[in-house]
Amino acid sequence: MRIPFLRGFWKLTWLEAKIFTREPMGFVGTLVMPVVVFIILGRALGASKPVATPTIDLPFNPAILAAILIALSAVQSLVAIISIYREGGILKRLRSTPLSPVTIMGAQVVVKLVFTVLSLSLLVLAGRRLFPGVMQVNVFSFTAAVLLGTFSILSLGFVLASLVPTARFAQPIGAIVLYPMLALSGLFYPLDRFPRALRELAYLFPTTHAVALLNGVWDGSGWAAHLVNVAALLALFVAYTALSTRVFRWE
């Protein structure tokens, strides 16, 4: 059955995935770097010593940091690709074919989510090998939480991609938004220690809810205890997607 609306979707997705792997810097950077960060931090913070329980006595959880870094690098990569495509007239050229806008953007999202899963798999494999006893988390639940978080953060990525004037600005503007998001996410300092205004700002960022959900998955309290965060991730996805459809520029 052919759905005209999504004509060419899988072909474009497959193509974009292949093209992504042909760019060694971007490919290695997004796939491997977060895992490297995880290993270095994990070793430095002494997580390699076998511990009896999965709770680690560390200032923060390096696995969750790495997972968030994976999500953020997916967003960085999305913003860079879209701004390069726009600057080169690639978006415009694709748009004047029967490809629908949803297909053109959806293909990028699927590619980013697939590579997020791959990177996460590397993370889990590395964790299981190097820090035995620590990675006793439900991998599927953890992966699902990371994917949901990434999905929601990607919608913010589309808003950023609309604001980026040229490809040269993709990296700095991405960083200006993404690093504070990470700092405010509650991963390093508990949210309740923030002033109220900052805390409320933090709730507008998907990373905050993604960290809360991942913490919940990690400490065993599970999805049920974090339905608020799940709902927030979905609501932010809807809000940012709606915003980006209004402000998005194809050229």
Partner 1 sequence: MIPVISVSNLGKSYGRTVAVDDVSLEVFEGEIFGLIGPNGAGKTTTMECVEGNRVPDKGKISVLGLDPRRDANALRQRIGVQHQEAHLQKRIKVWEAVDLWRSLYPRVVDTDSLLAGLGLESKRNAWFMTLSGGQKQRLFIALALIHEPEVVFLDELTTGLDPQARRAIWGLVTGIRARGTTVFLTTHLMEEAERLCDRVAIIEHGRLIEVGTPDDLVQKHCPERTVVFSSDDVNVAERLQGLGVVERAEGSAATYTIRGAGDDFVTAVINIIAREGIRVRGFRTEIPTLEDVFLKLTGHGIRD
Compute the least distance from the CB of residue 3 to partner 1, in Å: 13
> Could you please report the per-residue DSSP string of 76-126?
HHHHHHHHHHHHTTHHHHHHTSS--HHHHHHHHHHHHHHHHHHHHHHHHHH
**11 contacts partner 1 (rule: CB under 8 A):** yes
Tell me: does residue 177 bind partner 1 (CB under 8 A).
Answer: no
Nearest distance, CB of residue 42 and partner 1, angstroms: 34
Residue 101 contacts partner 1 per CB under 8 A: no
Task: Assess 106 for contact with partner 1 (CB under 8 A).
Answer: no
Is residue 49 near partner 1 by the rule CB under 8 A? Answer: no
Work out how close the CB of 158 gets to partner 1 at its nearest, in angstroms, rounded to a whole number. Answer: 19
**Residue 22 binds partner 1, judged by CB under 8 A:** yes
Q: Is 29 near partner 1 (CB under 8 A)?
A: no
Answer whether 76's CB lies under 8 Å from 172's CB: no
The reply to whether 249 sits near partner 1 by the rule CB under 8 A is no
115 binds partner 1 (CB under 8 A): no
Of the ranges 15-23, 41-49, 58-66, 169-177, which one interacts with partner 1 (CB under 8 A)? 15-23
Compare residues 10 and 189 and give the one whose CB is closer to partner 1.
10
199 binds partner 1 (CB under 8 A): no
Scan for tokens 């507008």, then name that residue: 204
Residue with Cβ nearer partner 1 (99 or 187): 99
Q: What six digits make up the tokens of 19?
A: 């093209």
Report the nearest approach of partner 1 to the CB of residue 167 (Å). Answer: 12
According to CB under 8 A, which one of 55, 97, 121, 221 is a site residue for partner 1? 97
- Interacting residue with partner 1 among 43, 49, 92, 168 (CB under 8 A): 92
By the rule CB under 8 A, 53 interacts with partner 1: no
Asked if 170 touches partner 1 (CB under 8 A), the answer is no
DSSP calls for the chain: ---GGGTTHHHHHHHHHHHHHT-HHHHHHHHHHHHHHHHHHHHHTTTTS--SSS---SSS-HHHHHHHHHHHHHHHHHHHHHHHHHHTTHHHHHHTSS--HHHHHHHHHHHHHHHHHHHHHHHHHHHHHHSTTT--S-HHHHHHHHHHHHHHHHHHHHHHHHH--SGGGHHHHHHHHHHHHHHTTSSSS-GGGS-HHHHHHHHTSHHHHHHHHHHHHHHT-TTGGGHHHHHHHHHHHHHHHHHHHHH----
* 165 is an interface residue for partner 1 by CB under 8 A: no
> Which residues here bind partner 1, judged by CB under 8 A?
4, 7-8, 11-12, 15-16, 18-19, 22-23, 85, 88-90, 92-93, 95-99
